[in-house]
Structure 1
Amino acid sequence: MKSMILNTAESLRSPDGAAEPDPRTTMFAGQTSPSLAAHHRDIEAIQLATGVPEAVAIQFETARNLYLYAWHVYRFFPVAQSQALFSLEFGLRERLPERLPERYQRSWQQQPMLAGLLAYAIDQGLVRNEGFRRWHQTAEVRARQRRSMEIFQAMLDQQLESVEVDERQPLNITPDDQSWDLVTILRKSLPSLRNELAHGSSMLTNEVLGTIELVAEILSQIYGLDSGATVCDASRDQQST
């Protein structure tokens, strides 16, 4: 059998080169000069709430470290993404009842899978749109765009050539600006991504920080409730708001 010769970037690192950046790290960096310090700051900024149990936090920290060391081994990026999703599944399983209603867990399943766990947490109000940074950012962007269009329309109506706008004025964010239902997207996309990675994939990308952030926000939400609250309590709270 003909021996396989791998590119050095795909092979086991030598002791002398183990601390060097993967050549793809700098190759795909774009115009910004990359640095390990900046790479570290990106992942350091993603933190869990203090209420997340140690066992779950350790699994998540493993994902953060994999992301950090992807600076040296580029193929650690999807591994970091996988580990983050594994920590999400573990965290949900630790937080939720051992047995879920059949809608979320088939009778033959020994334990619920990520899709059922996440769907149950969302339906019980443990995971909400308001707990995600990008949801708030999207609402703000929509509000700014709407304000710009309103100003433009006022200029047309009043036949003005220019108008002075004070950008320091607080935004009026309306329910329509907040209409993006992020959790409905996540309840399908995250389990799908988890399965693709877990069952083997040739996908290679460094764009995994967003997934890690989403996982941190979900874990922080489900463990950020009052420690005395039950899942049923959370459901009643959601229905009363």
Structure 2
Amino acid sequence: MHHITKPVTAKATALLLRLHFLAALWQCKNRFMEEFIKFEEIIEPDERHGLIDQLTGTRFTLESLYRTLDGIKLLDSVPEEIQSQFNVTKNLAIYTWYSYSLDPVAQLKTYILIEHALKLKFEKDNWPFPKLIKKAINRGWVKDSGFSHIEACPQDNTKYVRKMIEVLPSLRNSAAHGSNGLHQHAVGHIQICAEWINQIFSPDHDHNQVREAGA
């Protein structure tokens, strides 16, 4: 009896590739225990970048990493202390080339920097992160249209950012506990962080009225 072999669809192929990718990712995640770097390996690229390239078919280089980070800018209206810490975050991301485990540290830094920017803008060091985000949205300082990774809804320009009232603090808290995950998310986080900060300190806002009555 002959079995009829059904043609493999593009969707099925993509699913199989994703399953293989996730399996390999899990193996890589559990393969590495972080160790103190050897002196002779300080300026050598972390081998995990090569593993990601093999799994995704991409080509990741130090030059491409630098060019991308160099292209992420803050507005001149952003205070120097935020500019300075943002550059620290970008420098940290550069060194993920040599130590992959710095990637989640750079991600954590972006969450902390967004909160720092909001506290500085409102001049409210004691306000919790969710309250800061909510107040910024209510004032119209932060909108979906200010982010490049999403498509804003014309009927609701705060649909995404309203979700961030709970999501961002949760991500920050989770990242603070550390991660052994194998991913290259620092650059994307830095881009989003820049877009938060540029909206918060946009010259279009009235910087002289940052306190809310009765707050």
Q: What is the TM-score when the length of structure 2 is the normalising length?
A: 0.73
- Provide the secondary structure at the position in 1 that maps to 2:42: coil
Could you tell me which residue of structure 1 aligns to residue 154 of structure 2? 175
- CA offset at residue 121 of structure 1? 0.8
- Provide the secondary structure at the position in 1 that maps to 2:100: coil
Structure of greater Rg: 1
Higher mean C-alpha deviation, range 193-202 or range 71-80 = 193-202
CA distance in 1, matches of 2:109, 2:157: 31
Amino acid at match of 1:191: P
Could you tell me which residue of structure 1 aligns to residue 101 of structure 2? 75
Amino acid at match of 2:198: S
CA distance in 1, matches of 2:131, 2:157: 24
| Change beyond 3 A, Cα 1:15–1:8 | farther
1:57 aligns with 2:35: no
By percentage of residues, which structure has more helix?
2
1:18 is aligned, of 34, 42, 45, to: 42
- CA offset at residue 38 of structure 1? 0.7
User: Given that residues 46 and 216 in structure 1 are in contact (C-alpha distance below 8 angstroms), is that contact kept between their aligned partners in structure 2?
Assistant: yes
Amino acid at match of 1:121: A
The number of residue pairs the alignment matches comes to 180
Could you tell me which residue of structure 1 aligns to residue 57 of structure 2? 31
Q: What is the TM-score when the length of structure 1 is the normalising length?
A: 0.66
Structure 2: stretches of 5+ with no match in the other structure = 1-30
- CA offset at residue 180 of structure 1? 7.5
- CA offset at residue 117 of structure 1? 1.2
- CA offset at residue 185 of structure 1? 2.2
- CA offset at residue 12 of structure 1? 1.9
Amino acid at match of 1:19: I
- Provide the secondary structure at the position in 2 that maps to 1:10: coil
CA distance in 2, matches of 1:55, 1:229: 16
User: Given that residues 123 and 211 in structure 2 are in contact (C-alpha distance below 8 angstroms), is that contact kept between their aligned partners in structure 1?
Assistant: no
Could you tell me which residue of structure 2 aligns to residue 113 of structure 1? 128
- CA offset at residue 45 of structure 1? 2.1
User: Given that residues 66 and 94 in structure 2 are in contact (C-alpha distance below 8 angstroms), is that contact kept between their aligned partners in structure 1?
Assistant: yes
1:192 aligns with 2:174: no
CA distance in 2, matches of 1:83, 1:118: 17
- Post-superposition Cα deviations, 1:70-113, rounded to whole Å, max 9, x if no partner, equal 011011000000111111111111110427xxxxxxxxxxx112
2:120 is aligned, of 68, 89, 94, to: 94
User: Given that residues 126 and 231 in structure 1 are in contact (C-alpha distance below 8 angstroms), is that contact kept between their aligned partners in structure 2?
Assistant: no
| Change beyond 3 A, Cα 1:231–1:215 | farther
- Provide the secondary structure at the position in 2 that maps to 1:127: coil
Could you tell me which residue of structure 1 aligns to residue 141 of structure 2? 126
- CA offset at residue 42 of structure 1? 2.1
Structure 1: stretches of 5+ with no match in the other structure = 1-6, 100-110, 140-173, 235-241
| Change beyond 3 A, Cα 1:34–1:97 | closer
- Provide the secondary structure at the position in 2 that maps to 1:28: helix
2:190 is aligned, of 209, 212, 221, to: 212
Amino acid at match of 1:184: R
CA distance in 1, matches of 2:197, 2:108: 15
